[in-house]
Chain A
Amino acid sequence: MAANGSPKPEPMAAKKASPDLLNSSFSFKSLKLKTKQQELLLRVSILGLVYVLAFIARLFSVLRYESMIHEFDPYFNYRTTLFLTEKGFYEFWNWFDSESWYPLGRIIGGTLYPGLMVTAALIYWTLRFLRFFVHIREVCVLTAPFFASNTTLVAYFFGKEIWDTGAGLVAAALIAICPGYISRSVAGSYDNEAVAIFALLLTFYLFVKAVKTGSLSWALGSAFGYFYMVSAWGGYVFIINLVPLYVLVLLITGRYSMRLYVAYNCMYILGMLLAMQIRFVGFQHVQSGEHMAAMGVFLLMQVFYFLDWVKHQLNDTKLFQTFLRITVTSAILVGGIALGVGTASGYISPWTGRFYSLLDPTYAKDHIPIIASVSEHQPTAWSSFMFDYHILLFLFPAGLYFCFKRLSDATIFIVMYGLTSLYFAGVMVRLILVATPAVCLISAIAVSATVKNLTSLLRTKQKVPQTGSAKGVGSSKSSSKVTLDQSQPFHKNGAIALLVGVFYLLSRYAIHCTWVTSEAYSSPSIVLAARGAHGNRIIFDDYREAYYWLRQNTPTDAKVMSWWDYGYQITAMGNRTVIVDNNTWNNTHIATVGRAMSSYEDEAYDIMRSLDVNYVLVVFGGVTGYSSDDINKFLWMVRIGGGVYPVIKEPDYLVNGEFRVDKGASPKMLNCLMYKLCYYRFGELVTEYGKPTGYDRARGVEIGNKDIKLEHLEEAYTTSNWIVRIYRVKPPTNRL
């Protein structure tokens, strides 16, 4: 700090200027602080560039395709946002949606996290107020990139808080293009995670700041950040468990302080009260098992405070030790009994399946097939870690090393955040997203500390020791460097080589991220693109073709049955009532659809009649070779259906444990509804030159049942590439 020299002239200048006009003092100041201003200018412009970069790196999908909403869940979010902007907040809050989960319906206001929709609607209303008449779709499409940009700012401040400004800048740059985050925040990926990661990081940052300063205002800020997070995403449970865990660790390591007490109590109490305002959370926040840790730590905190007070009063250490033992034991005992009684009496609800499957990755596989069937709930493969983190994967341990070397309340937090989230990322693919900010921050510490050490080595050789060392580095550190430096003569060359290495790695990272973004994460998945024989791009727009056909050419009250994956899209784009959708709240209902799909046609017909189904929609990739179609998902339908209705047995659809659709397939498979609907009249078609008719390109076999007759259904529409097939359920024939 002393080396800087700049703070010294400042009061002098101010003093000198004070008799003059105020204005002149500014000019004096600005003249004197030139290097500092340069640094500020550099910092602001880097941050500005990172901000812009984070936004534009996510626009590949808009350029490649169009400004559209991606995938499945975002369509629901888009539909609800549309509703919100058209009908207003109260209508939205009280919305009972009869277009989904027929005949049950769904209370939308009470079963969703409204943060995302309200955010988008607020942006939309602000823009309209400023006379920018944009379409709500554009707002929704660009919400995710916009919040990703904001996240980089938070990452900067967080990095600054836990290490220094350099680490903050590196963290902002790393998170701006990290594929783990981009995968969920490209333009059009209008999902809860888009704003939730921002809210998550903001909450953590404000909390760390609150712990560091002990200021009520920061704690208040973190409570509001937490409220925003709760309103946006179910992942808030991570916060409400990580923060108590962190507090607990601080307590155990003897880092209890008044600052911690203020920060945690304010954040927990206010955060809890605010979170309970979200209807979907409500009293769960004080009743469900997932939230009990926070409450326990809150009580423990009071015990600590009490003990602190007693310790202050009692000056006898021996007496205090006994008192401590008794109090802690009885507190834990009381807490344990309360928890036991609460759980036993049902007042405290047990953990949900999703939560269980996080702690025990094999749980879902055995007990809840509906969670296990979702591809993003699978355990993460090593390759996807490499794919999403690239060099961060080995910068992370280095960063941990630096964190441990300079342990503080803030670094303890980031270490805990990093380690826990990385564990969750290993359990479920989609949670890589949650770990990404921590990985980026810790890696940023590694990069920043390494580069700073190396450059300071270079500088100390050239100039008088210590002048060049940046102000952020602790004084003990730089002095130790100087001593090291003089003992090793080849240090300078080594440092240069290492610096080059670091920049090479970072540039590889940038290249990798851009490549991954453009190749893997920018596909809307609703429009499929393939390369033609001449290298030209072929667009398969069958989904929208089918949904628009439904929207225009079916009665407005028609009910469409499909596998739940397509539910949100059918209601949003087709504007028709669906039986089940991606909000998989009712397992029995989904199992009923699964049962219908895996039954013989006449059995399925009875089920469909009982559900008032008018149209059945299946997705079929046999003509185009599109592999994520309903036949490939079929075993999950069987499993989920069989989980509720034991008449459906998985082995009936397999031959020697093998799932096949050709001649060797099991008879039940060849005659179930799903098979019939997918392959109806497919046997007449030649899909590939030199292959027999009815050659399924997705599975590479000739189908086993080419002569399919439908009795109760008729083909209503098939899209141009056969990807979506819609059947009409015939009314029952008159009985004579």
Chain B
Amino acid sequence: MPARNWIFAVAVALFLSLSTFSSAQDLQIVNAERRIDLSSHIVKAFLTLKVENIGKDPAADMLLAFPPTQIKNLAMVQALAVTGKKKKKTYLPLDVKPSEQPDAPNDAGYFLVSFATPLGPGEAVTLEVLYILTHSLEPFPVEITQSESQLVYYRDSAVVLSPYRIKQQTTFFKTPSTRVESFTSVEPANRAGKEIKYGAYEDRVPYSYAPVIVHFENNSPFAVVEELVREIEISHWGSLQITENYRLTHGGARHKGVFSRVEYQSRRSISGSSSFNALLAVLPPRVNSVYYRDNIGNISTSHLRTGFKKSELEFEPRYPLFGGWKATFIIGYRVPLEDYLFEAPDGRRYLNFTFGCPLVETIVNKLTLKVVLPEGSKDPSAVLPFAVNQDLQVKYSYLDIVGRTVVVLQKDNVVPTHNVPFQVYYTFKPIYMLAEPLMLVSAFFFVFVTSLAYVHIDLNIVKK
């Protein structure tokens, strides 16, 4: 297969390169090194590019191209500009935006990286790009039994897809174990231990593509949260109540046939190696009132370790998760308000909290984050470092009359790198805090007054 495909790919690439990219042709990549980490089910790719401006005009930005199969699984792209040599390297984060190109070949997707300062003619810059792919490991065989190990396919290109000419490039794939069933050979390619090296390839035209498949063993927990709804309820009486609804599934090869408890408990090393039983959630420090339950009650298998920097909640679902098995559960906790709620210089208040999912090494297909503001809050606005869907809702909680404003942030395909702080600004008058206590007080007062009145009023028509 490789030879024919290769020719085809080059032909396509050559054809594509004929279409002109005015800005694209001005840049070229001198050296590209790509390291793709396949050790968990979240594929992390580190791309080091040395970009040179060979045109006459200064270039303000450059394009990163991704094949259509990857663009839909792309969770995050980050770029850093590297300045300085060896040990004195400094990194400068660059602005990365998804970009539409009208004449994109084969539905390729693009991200536009803006340089910190426009790249003058003849100048070169080193970029470090990190991109993360989810759902990119395809289990094969699709179904396995309890005693089998999980094997997956990873499909990519041996050469970096780019709208620019690449003078020299290498790609490394890092597999979790030494067990690699097969990998497509695109000369020169070789494998040593846990690493497969493709390249170095010299002088590839724009849009070169050389499909490769790596078939290897991966027994890391394929913990996929199909849906996570986090609700952060702000109470100005001193705490944040966070409730997280998880719908977790094992996203790896489906479990087939028998589940044998005797094998699972006595031959743990070889039985159910792709299954997972323990999960770890990293919670904020000073967390309290933690609970872990599901629709039918409390789940008693959890441990909490609180620390100064973070707290760790180690917990187990009710049953081990094998491929395709699901579990739903709720984690709730409370944190002190003063750690997360601040007053902005303009008098508004803002919540500063972490986005994303507290579970480590987990993909979230659909994350809905609801910030429930106290009753009487106005003008909410959310500030996030990346694009999310925003919406406003109203929620009624204890003793609410007009309801609480809820800022709903919704994002698909969330990975742990999305666990960054975000802010929600709103205005709030402290007098509203007294509304609910006053209601309770007046209710009690009313009860006592009526009972007082009842005791003293004689309702008899006839005098005794």
Q: Which A residues form the contact surface with B (CB < 8 A)?
A: 26, 65-66, 68, 131-133, 527, 539, 541, 544-545, 547-549, 551-553, 573, 681-682, 684-685, 714-720, 722
CA of A718 to CA of B324, assembled, Å: 17
**Is B190 an interface residue when CB atoms closer than 8 A count as contact?**
no
CB contact between A548 and one of B318, B324, B397 (< 8 Å): that residue: B318
CB contact between A547 and one of B260, B261, B296 (< 8 Å): that residue: B296
Known: A541-B300, A541-B318. 17 other contacts (CB 8 A): A26-B456, A131-B400, A132-B399, A539-B300, A548-B295, A548-B318, A549-B319, A552-B327, A573-B296, A714-B257, A714-B258, A715-B258, A716-B258, A716-B259, A717-B259, A718-B262, A722-B261
Give every chain A residue within 8 A of B397 (Cβ-Cβ): 133
CA of A454 to CA of B325, assembled, Å: 71
Contact A684 B262, beta carbon cutoff 8 Å: yes
**Is B386 an interface residue when CB atoms closer than 8 A count as contact?**
no
Contact B298 A66, beta carbon cutoff 8 Å: yes
Give every chain B residue within 8 A of A573 (Cβ-Cβ): 296
Give every chain A residue within 8 A of B92 (Cβ-Cβ): none
CA of A256 to CA of B339, assembled, Å: 77
- Knowing A552-B328, A715-B259, A718-B259 are in contact, say whether A132-B398 is a contact too (CB < 8 A): yes
Give every chain A residue within 8 A of B296 (Cβ-Cβ): 544, 547-548, 551, 573
* Chain B 300-331 near chain A by CB (<8 Å), digits 1 or 0: 10000000000000000011000011111000
- Knowing A131-B398, A131-B399 are in contact, say whether A717-B319 is a contact too (CB < 8 A): yes
Give every chain B residue within 8 A of A68 (Cβ-Cβ): 297-298
Give every chain A residue within 8 A of B446 (Cβ-Cβ): none
- Knowing A131-B401, A552-B325 are in contact, say whether A544-B262 is a contact too (CB < 8 A): no
Closest-by-CB residue of B relative to A131 is: B399
Contact A545 B400, beta carbon cutoff 8 Å: no
Closest-by-CB residue of A relative to B277 is: A720
CA of A110 to CA of B298, assembled, Å: 34
Contact A685 B262, beta carbon cutoff 8 Å: yes
* Chain B 268-307 near chain A by CB (<8 Å), digits 1 or 0: 0000000000000000000000000011111110000000
CA of A66 to CA of B400, assembled, Å: 27
- Knowing A26-B456, A131-B401, A553-B325 are in contact, say whether A544-B297 is a contact too (CB < 8 A): yes
CA of A562 to CA of B401, assembled, Å: 48
Contact A549 B398, beta carbon cutoff 8 Å: no
Main secondary structure on chain A at its contact with chain B?
A: mixed
CA of A527 to CA of B293, assembled, Å: 14
CA of A26 to CA of B261, assembled, Å: 77
**Is B396 an interface residue when CB atoms closer than 8 A count as contact?**
yes
Give every chain B residue within 8 A of A26 (Cβ-Cβ): 456
CA of A714 to CA of B324, assembled, Å: 18
Give every chain A residue within 8 A of B262 (Cβ-Cβ): 681-682, 684-685, 718
Contact A549 B318, beta carbon cutoff 8 Å: yes
CA of A545 to CA of B321, assembled, Å: 12
Chain B interface: which size bin? 20 to 34
**Distance (Å) between the CB of B438 and the closest chain A CB?**
14
CA of A720 to CA of B261, assembled, Å: 7
CA of A552 to CA of B295, assembled, Å: 11
CA of A552 to CA of B298, assembled, Å: 16
Contact A545 B456, beta carbon cutoff 8 Å: no
* Most-contacted residue by chain A among B262, B296, B328, B396 (CB, 10 A): B296
Closest 5 CB pairs of A and B: A718-B261, A552-B326, A66-B298, A545-B318, A573-B296
Q: Which of B415-464 contact A (CB under 8 A)?
A: 456
CA of A72 to CA of B384, assembled, Å: 49
Main secondary structure on chain B at its contact with chain A?
A: loop
CA of A553 to CA of B250, assembled, Å: 11
Give every chain B residue within 8 A of A715 (Cβ-Cβ): 258-261
CA of A68 to CA of B318, assembled, Å: 17
CA of A672 to CA of B186, assembled, Å: 61
**Distance (Å) between the CB of B255 and the closest chain A CB?**
9
Closest-by-CB residue of B relative to A29 is: B456
User: Could you write out 23 A-B pairs with CB less than 8 Å apart?
Assistant: A66-B298, A131-B396, A131-B399, A131-B401, A132-B398, A132-B399, A527-B297, A541-B318, A544-B297, A544-B318, A548-B294, A548-B295, A548-B319, A551-B296, A552-B326, A553-B326, A681-B260, A685-B262, A715-B259, A717-B319, A718-B261, A719-B319, A720-B265
Give every chain B residue within 8 A of A132 (Cβ-Cβ): 398-399
**Distance (Å) between the CB of A633 and the closest chain B CB?**
22
Q: Which of B395-413 contact A (CB under 8 A)?
A: 396-401
**Distance (Å) between the CB of B332 and the closest chain A CB?**
13
Give every chain A residue within 8 A of B456 (Cβ-Cβ): 26
Give every chain A residue within 8 A of B328 (Cβ-Cβ): 552
Give every chain A residue within 8 A of B297 (Cβ-Cβ): 66, 68, 527, 544
Closest-by-CB residue of A relative to B316 is: A720
Closest-by-CB residue of A relative to B325 is: A553
- Knowing A541-B299, A553-B325, A684-B262 are in contact, say whether A133-B319 is a contact too (CB < 8 A): no
Contact A133 B396, beta carbon cutoff 8 Å: yes
CA of A193 to CA of B266, assembled, Å: 46
Closest-by-CB residue of B relative to A730 is: B257
CA of A718 to CA of B263, assembled, Å: 11
CA of A684 to CA of B263, assembled, Å: 10
CA of A545 to CA of B317, assembled, Å: 9
**Distance (Å) between the CB of B83 and the closest chain A CB?**
52
Give every chain A residue within 8 A of B327 (Cβ-Cβ): 548, 552
CA of A681 to CA of B260, assembled, Å: 9
Give every chain A residue within 8 A of B298 (Cβ-Cβ): 65-66, 68
Give every chain B residue within 8 A of A682 (Cβ-Cβ): 262
**Distance (Å) between the CB of B272 and the closest chain A CB?**
12
**Distance (Å) between the CB of B321 and the closest chain A CB?**
9
CA of A719 to CA of B260, assembled, Å: 10
* Most-contacted residue by chain A among B257, B300, B327 (CB, 10 A): B300
- Knowing A131-B400, A133-B396 are in contact, say whether A545-B319 is a contact too (CB < 8 A): yes
CA of A365 to CA of B297, assembled, Å: 38
CA of A551 to CA of B328, assembled, Å: 10
**Distance (Å) between the CB of B293 and the closest chain A CB?**
8
CA of A522 to CA of B228, assembled, Å: 35
**Distance (Å) between the CB of B413 and the closest chain A CB?**
23
Give every chain B residue within 8 A of A539 (Cβ-Cβ): 300
**Distance (Å) between the CB of A706 and the closest chain B CB?**
12
* Most-contacted residue by chain A among B260, B319, B328, B397 (CB, 10 A): B319
Give every chain B residue within 8 A of A719 (Cβ-Cβ): 261, 319
Give every chain A residue within 8 A of B400 (Cβ-Cβ): 131
**Distance (Å) between the CB of B206 and the closest chain A CB?**
49
* Most-contacted residue by chain B among A527, A541, A682, A720 (CB, 10 A): A720
Closest-by-CB residue of A relative to B262 is: A681
Give every chain A residue within 8 A of B318 (Cβ-Cβ): 541, 544-545, 548-549
CA of A722 to CA of B260, assembled, Å: 11
**Distance (Å) between the CB of A70 and the closest chain B CB?**
11
* Chain B 207-230 near chain A by CB (<8 Å), digits 1 or 0: 000000000000000000000000
CA of A132 to CA of B396, assembled, Å: 10
**Distance (Å) between the CB of B231 and the closest chain A CB?**
13
CA of A719 to CA of B262, assembled, Å: 10
Q: Which of B338-353 contact A (CB under 8 A)?
A: none
Closest-by-CB residue of B relative to A572 is: B296
CA of A54 to CA of B456, assembled, Å: 30
Give every chain A residue within 8 A of B300 (Cβ-Cβ): 539, 541
CA of A26 to CA of B456, assembled, Å: 7
**Distance (Å) between the CB of A97 and the closest chain B CB?**
19
Closest-by-CB residue of A relative to B257 is: A714
Give every chain B residue within 8 A of A544 (Cβ-Cβ): 296-297, 318
CA of A532 to CA of B300, assembled, Å: 16
Closest-by-CB residue of A relative to B324 is: A553
Give every chain A residue within 8 A of B265 (Cβ-Cβ): 720
CA of A714 to CA of B258, assembled, Å: 6
**Distance (Å) between the CB of A536 and the closest chain B CB?**
13
* Most-contacted residue by chain A among B259, B297, B300 (CB, 10 A): B297
**Distance (Å) between the CB of A15 and the closest chain B CB?**
10
Q: Which of B342-401 contact A (CB under 8 A)?
A: 396-401
Closest-by-CB residue of A relative to B260 is: A715
